[in-house]
Structure 1
Amino acid sequence: MLNRTLAPESKQVDEINFIEPLKQTLDNGIPVFTINAGKQELVRIEFIFENVNWDPSKPLQAIAVSHLINNGTTHLSAKEIADKVDYYGAFLQTEYGADQTCVKLYTLNKHLSAVLPIVRSILNESIFPEQELAIFIQNQKQSLQVSLQKNDFLARKHFANALFGDTPYGSNIGLSDYDGLKRADLLNYFKAAYKPENCTIFVAGKFEEQEFNTLNAILGKAWDNKGQSIPNKFSFTNSPKGEILIDKPEAIQSAIRMGTLAITRKHPDFPGFQVLNCLLGGYFGSRLMANIREDKGYTYGIGSAVASLKDAGYFFIATEVGTAVCESAMLEIEKEIDILKTELVAEDELTLVRNYMLGAMLGSLENAFSHADKFKNVYFSGLDYNYYENYIETVKSISAADLKALANTYLNTENFTKVVVGKN
């Protein structure tokens, strides 16, 4: 009979297998990376475009194009696009990121030849109708006005701008930026960015020769978009801004966001830094959660993260606490960092973190889509699957002394930018 008073035995994940993609090329030169896996007649196709032509005076160009690209083409209205996609049981969405923009299609294989012409029209013939642009501006301004009342949004916004300035990573977008959106600028950006030489396609699901031939027949043709483009490229220096205090006299809670520029996924220390981050604030059993939430009761949640972008990496800690304990919470955060810099992590705690991280990695590879996501991470970082082999080996073997050294290298709180939004 099962003894429920005893926890099940845990053991370390021994092996994690990744599905490597097949690389092919469409007739117009677009590379296609395919994770052909799964038994369902379902496929996800992602058309990813590098963001280009950054202009700080027009910070919303790429964002607006991403939002409006499926709202009308030369031959299809926004309603017709939506109706046709719905008719075939497909799902079409756009995603904007600071480095790339994505048009993502989910469809049954049997409807691929019917749905892809809609996608081709969107990618090649979008016209950004004035009426749709006006609705977008109105909705986004209303959404921004609501967000500007939220302390955590303000903290995130000011923190990013302090680290990255007026770049896509930290652009301090305001209501007036939406008023400056012009249809002509969107058309120019669309023609410059959405073209075959700036596109990479990632496919996941049951996708074999027949499906590839269908994709090539429809999307492998020349596109009309031939605008001039300059790749986005940025460089940053760590210039800590100290404490940035944004007073909200009516606030009940203060939002805290602190951190610094850091290394990217390309750096050999990055996997070890991820282990260090997990210990500090990267999962529910982290030290910050144990101290700030469980012991002190200052917050419902606190976490830290290491982020890797194309041209920069950064580390941050984020939480919301009662205004009366804001200063105490920040002192406790710094205390936990100091402990990591001065004391060795106990082996049982490190074992727990190892098991969590390896289990999380294994659990994140549940289907073809997640395997494709893992490949995209390394592809856009200029890496290959050796990165994951090194990551897994680092998680398994990193020592307490290694973590202490990393903490002293990368967690220097005197160099942190600290943003507090609340009652001062």
Structure 2
Amino acid sequence: MVEIQKTPPEPLAPIPFNIAEPVRETLPNGLRVVLVEEDRVPLVSYRLAFFRGDAHDPKGAVGLTSATASMLTEGTEKYSSRELAERVERLGAGISSNASDDFTTFSASTLSIYADEILALMAEILFRPTFPESELDLYKRNALENLKYQRSQPNFLASEQSARLIYGHHPYSVVSPKEADYERLDRESLVKYHDSAYVPNNAVLIVVGDVERSELMSQVGELFGDWPSHEFTLPKDEPIPARDDRTLTIVDRPGSAQANIVLSNIAIPRNHPDHFATTVMNQVLGAGASSRVFMNLREEKGYTYGAYTRIDAKKQAGDFEATAEVRTSVTGDSLKEFFYELNRIRDEKVRPEELADAKSFLTGVFPIRAETQDGLAGLVANQVMYGLPDDYLQTYRENIDAVTLEDVQRVANAYIHPERLAMVIVGDADAILPQAKEYAEDIEVFDAEGKKK
């Protein structure tokens, strides 16, 4: 007879998280190099990161940073765009370049036997890009088509309004260039921006993988040592506006059967001391399928397939968001439950078992993120680029475990402000407004093109 176990098994021992101590060096031209030797597999990953992103677009040139980054790999003095792609493919490697709000990152990964060739190819791309007119025209056409698609997506429309309301005139308020911004791009602007923005004294080369320190530094010095440094300035940031009241913004999509809800307010930047406490708090509140808002709005009420919260922490600032896509007819009921949960986590301590579950999940999943070399490279890159402590990765689980019930309630009160939320709802305004108007006196309605009605 099989005996049925009536209690769950004891949890497994924590997975060890051991990574080599990073080696840090700086070239005479100011280029920082961070190396993590990792020989579990014969691979190597490179990240050349510049501390300059979309938020640092020159005045009147929205989209220039991303365009320059994307076009970087579309041809050099030695290779056309096609020849470059074929060479990378023959080596079984990958090369990409892109910009985020705060950084521009030029990445490559390959088998370690081709590491020297790929690093040399990165130098070729970095120092001798041609920004072909034909490729730029293709980039602009694709970007304009993608913009049309984005404007048909409720999530994009909600993000556009939320960023405007939260960040005001700060560059973080821009979620995408507009049609005129793309049309304005030209090859001369890309060349000029590349020459002024891609400087070694505002960059760091992160290398993770099966490489030997002395050999790497010798090649880095040979390829990047003569890269001239020069003074640079970043555009002055606009202040982030303070919010005094709760507001309601509706993006009207007549006839829509669904309402996309985004509730947001300013929170913390990525390197804030409360990062670990807010991470745990958010895990309890809305980060996953066992969180409070998910269990409430989906499992108990059946209003949506998913309801979530997150802390979007960037270099200079961050925001808290609560989101759900619900049936139009239950928009008001969904708002009621959101505010119930937002107030509850502020007013009451979470249960000890909720805290334990959240910490167990976060500490358990963390080592998995470093199982692949690319994942480990991403973790190291984030640590370096956001200026996190040198032991951030090694002490991550310890810091998560140190969060208390009191910490969770404290940060909930500090960074969730139901009375000052920017409420954005995308859907049928005629159906939504009667359900949502009780939550704010300041109400505005826009069309899908972002024009006020």
Q: Under a length normalisation based on structure 2, what TM-score does the superposition of the two structures give?
A: 0.86
Between 165-174 and 202-211, report the one with greater CA deviation: 165-174
- Give per-residue Cα distances to partners, 1:292-346, cap 9 Å, x unaligned: 1111111111211112211112111122111111121111111011111222222
Between 233-242 and 1-10, report the one with greater CA deviation: 1-10
CA, structure 1 residues 397+87, in 2 after alignment: closer, same or farther (shift >3 Å)? Answer: closer
Q: 2:340 aligned with 1:335, yes or no?
A: yes
Is this contact kept in 1: 2:164–2:173, CA < 8 A?
Answer: yes
1:288 maps to a residue whose letter is V
CA, structure 1 residues 217+392, in 2 after alignment: closer, same or farther (shift >3 Å)? Answer: closer
- Give per-residue Cα distances to partners, 1:368-406, cap 9 Å, x unaligned: 443333333232232314545665344324332332232
Between 144-153 and 256-265, report the one with greater CA deviation: 256-265
Equivalent of residue 211 in structure 2, options 198, 207, 211: 207
1:21-420 correspondence runs (5 A): 21-26=22-27, 28-51=29-52, 54-171=57-174, 173-209=177-213, 211-213=215-217, 215-216=219-220, 218-223=222-227, 229-232=232-235, 234=237, 235-239=239-243, 242-387=247-392, 391-420=396-425
SS in 2 for 1:378: helix
Between 258-267 and 84-93, report the one with greater CA deviation: 258-267
Following superposition, the deviation at residue 27 of structure 1 comes to: 5.9
CA, structure 1 residues 40+341, in 2 after alignment: closer, same or farther (shift >3 Å)? Answer: closer
CA, structure 1 residues 2+48, in 2 after alignment: closer, same or farther (shift >3 Å)? Answer: farther
Q: Which runs of 5+ in 1 are unaligned?
A: none
Following superposition, the deviation at residue 18 of structure 1 comes to: 4.6
CA, structure 1 residues 416+107, in 2 after alignment: closer, same or farther (shift >3 Å)? Answer: same
CA, structure 1 residues 290+396, in 2 after alignment: closer, same or farther (shift >3 Å)? Answer: same
Is this contact kept in 2: 1:257–1:317, CA < 8 A?
Answer: yes
For 1:312 and 1:20, the matched residues in 2 are separated by 29
CA, structure 1 residues 423+150, in 2 after alignment: closer, same or farther (shift >3 Å)? Answer: same
SS in 2 for 1:126: coil
SS in 2 for 1:133: helix
Identical columns (%):
27
Between 396-405 and 126-135, report the one with greater CA deviation: 396-405
CA, structure 1 residues 164+103, in 2 after alignment: closer, same or farther (shift >3 Å)? Answer: same
Following superposition, the deviation at residue 210 of structure 1 comes to: 5.6
For 1:367 and 1:218, the matched residues in 2 are separated by 29
For 2:338 and 2:108, the matched residues in 1 are separated by 43
1:112 maps to a residue whose letter is A
Is this contact kept in 1: 2:276–2:403, CA < 8 A?
Answer: no
- Matched pairs, number: 423
1:191 maps to a residue whose letter is D
CA, structure 1 residues 70+195, in 2 after alignment: closer, same or farther (shift >3 Å)? Answer: same
CA, structure 1 residues 344+209, in 2 after alignment: closer, same or farther (shift >3 Å)? Answer: closer
Is this contact kept in 2: 1:307–1:315, CA < 8 A?
Answer: yes
- Give per-residue Cα distances to partners, 1:26-67, cap 9 Å, x unaligned: 464421111111332210111111217532411111010111
For 1:238 and 1:391, the matched residues in 2 are separated by 32
Between 163-172 and 305-314, report the one with greater CA deviation: 163-172
Following superposition, the deviation at residue 148 of structure 1 comes to: 0.5
Between 24-33 and 131-140, report the one with greater CA deviation: 24-33
Is this contact kept in 2: 1:256–1:419, CA < 8 A?
Answer: yes
CA, structure 1 residues 115+380, in 2 after alignment: closer, same or farther (shift >3 Å)? Answer: closer
Q: Which runs of 5+ in 2 are unaligned?
A: 430-453
CA, structure 1 residues 246+217, in 2 after alignment: closer, same or farther (shift >3 Å)? Answer: same
Q: 2:423 aligned with 1:421, yes or no?
A: no
Is this contact kept in 1: 2:131–2:187, CA < 8 A?
Answer: yes
For 1:12 and 1:346, the matched residues in 2 are separated by 24
Alpha-carbon RMSD across the aligned residues, in angstroms, is 2.5
